[in-house]
Chain A
Amino acid sequence: MAVERYLLPPDGADWRALAAYRRAGGYEAATRALREMTTEAVVEEVKASGLRGRGGAGFSTGQKWSFMPKPGGPKPSYLACNADESEPGTFKDRQIMERNPHLFLEGLIIAGYAINARAAYVYIRGEYVTPFRVLSDAIAELRAAGLLGTGLFGTDREYDIHLMRGAGAYICGEETGMIESAEGRKGQPRKRPPFPAVYGLWGCPTTVNNVETVSHVPWIIKRGAAWFKTIGTPTSTGNTLFGVSGHVNRPGVYELPLGTKLREIIDVHAGGVRGGRALKAIIPGGVSMPVLSAEQVDVAMDHESLKQAGTLLGTGGIVVMDDTACMVRAALVIARFFRHETCGQCTQCREGTAWLYKLLQRIEAGQGSAADLRTIESVGGYMEGQTICALSDAAAWAATGFLRRFRAEFEAHVHEGRCPLPESFEP
């Protein structure tokens, strides 16, 4: 089945310049939304499309927008766009920002209109210097063409888009950590309630949306919710950007309908497992999501099917591992990451991430015991569902997920006192 791409430009096309993007129909949706549609109608259309957030949690975008207050309240509203993209295995938002910046900016204009925002603030991870530069240029071009600022698209609205830079902390991708960081503080997540729609940036009503999420919006407005719903599954609608990395022949970002079979993504699009080796394990949606084993490769990549398989879609960042890869080492690399990134506010998370890392180090070195395996599960249990944000849950799921799915390999490390996979990558 031929897949129609709409997030990434067609092969060979360069839509980075405003003129090129407009020739391809760009900013028609924004013009229509702002001139001909009420804000409520935009929200309703997006709600009807079934669009779910692409930042990891998969929440209904239209519903999120409808939590925002009506205009005329005591405080201005803001759109805070999450371009922190730090979930390991995830490198898709960068593709949109670098290759189709104006689609993203058009999405920010329509989303900002829908929630009556005064301005959009885009929080870009500090390491993304190229996306920052491409977007700065695109915004300058838009402003010079009179399409940003006062009198937006011939209306009496005023709207601006500002770029912010992060500085290397993963936790600033968590929406309230991002808001704290954008206010010039440590990126420590806030307790909820109050939710950002009530108390967000500078204490004002704020919607946090991911880069890819808002980039779907111009197409939903242009071609309608009914069209959008023809793509994907009934409850996971539209295309999405799957990032495929690890042991495949053609790693990269593939725009495909939600619900595409994992096997098809790996074998057809990513060219199969490298060197013709056997598939062993797949992380389906960034390292926060529990790993799948090769027997589960026929799962469909949508929210419901992955939930049934015992994991989650997350960011759609797929990491493929072949039969050389040691699962204890994979779990160790990921535990090291979470130990490095915990913001330290919650005891369970601060201590738990350190414990998981220590236990896995010991097992990897061949010095672990059967009791250590049980301790991983009990520490994981304490870390779940009890903290300010979901980093703690993610760290627990990742470690216990590897242990449950590949228990025999963990036990072999304990019994043999060494790694049984001589060809494995090093942690």
Chain B
Amino acid sequence: MSDFSRREFLKRSAAAGVAGGVALTGFGKNAGASDIVQVGTMIDLTRCDGCRGLDTPACVTACREENKDVFPEPIENIGNYWPHKKKEDWSKKRGLTSRLTPYNWTFVQNVSVEHGGKRYDLSVPRRCMHCDNPPCANVCPFSVQYKTPEGPVIIDHDLCFGGAKCRDVCPWGIPARQAGVGAYLKIAPKLAGGGVMYKCDLCYSRTKKGHEPACVEACPRNAIIFGEKEKMRALAHKRAAEINGYIYGEKENGGTSTFYVSPVPFEKIDAELMKQKAAQPNPKAPGFPGMPVNVKNFTETANGIAWSMAIAPVAGIAAAAGAAYKTMKGGGNND
């Protein structure tokens, strides 16, 4: 080892560095390029009146009709989530349309808000926002929830285990869980899993065929507009400028495919919704989302760390090269 030269050291360093770097950082992934057009919706709260003449808003009825074949049919005797003595079973409340459930993927919230000396009675259709960087899909432990190239975020009902982590990391707690159905029943239903998560998929199967989502098609006042996402964004900005209004969904959670336009600030709508939620028999029950403004994406903190992670292999290579050089110069072969 004593005849070990600087040239040889550099040669070996380069080879080992390349091997280590390639081994640990992987190859570049080009996942962004696509000719597929992203879709989205613009929801104009100056137009939506919650179909006040109807028992159930038309969008809700249309959604339920469209998805009735996908709604869960759980087993008869659904077990509790051991060791807890509870389970999430909405199968006896299939008719409920006042919140999100596994049988009701969209609903309308009604709020009365004062702004600029004027009172506004607003109806707000709610469902999955189809986020640009959906934490629900990103952190699913089994990656059975995903964002399609067109934008809608979809749950694979056949593989979902119903842990409900997606709901925990969603700023709006949108996905709804039904126990007694799905893959977990085949593994260890008493010990792990909780059913299947359900939510709006923006009628992906319909839109793939060129149709509009059922809620959009059913809306009698054209309050929900569907189309190319960037056009919806532009439409939202145009409409907000016309009414001197506000947009929700463009920045929230890092950006979404749903753009609400309102004549009143969404902070006021959110405050009213939170009041309504607090007044419910069980305020902690999921399925009644607020509208927190500028809410952060769950993965934001971790993504900040990810950039720091890139330093790790560089530091490892530098430290190893230094240590190897030192030990080899010292003649040590037993380090």
Do chains A and B stick together as partners? no
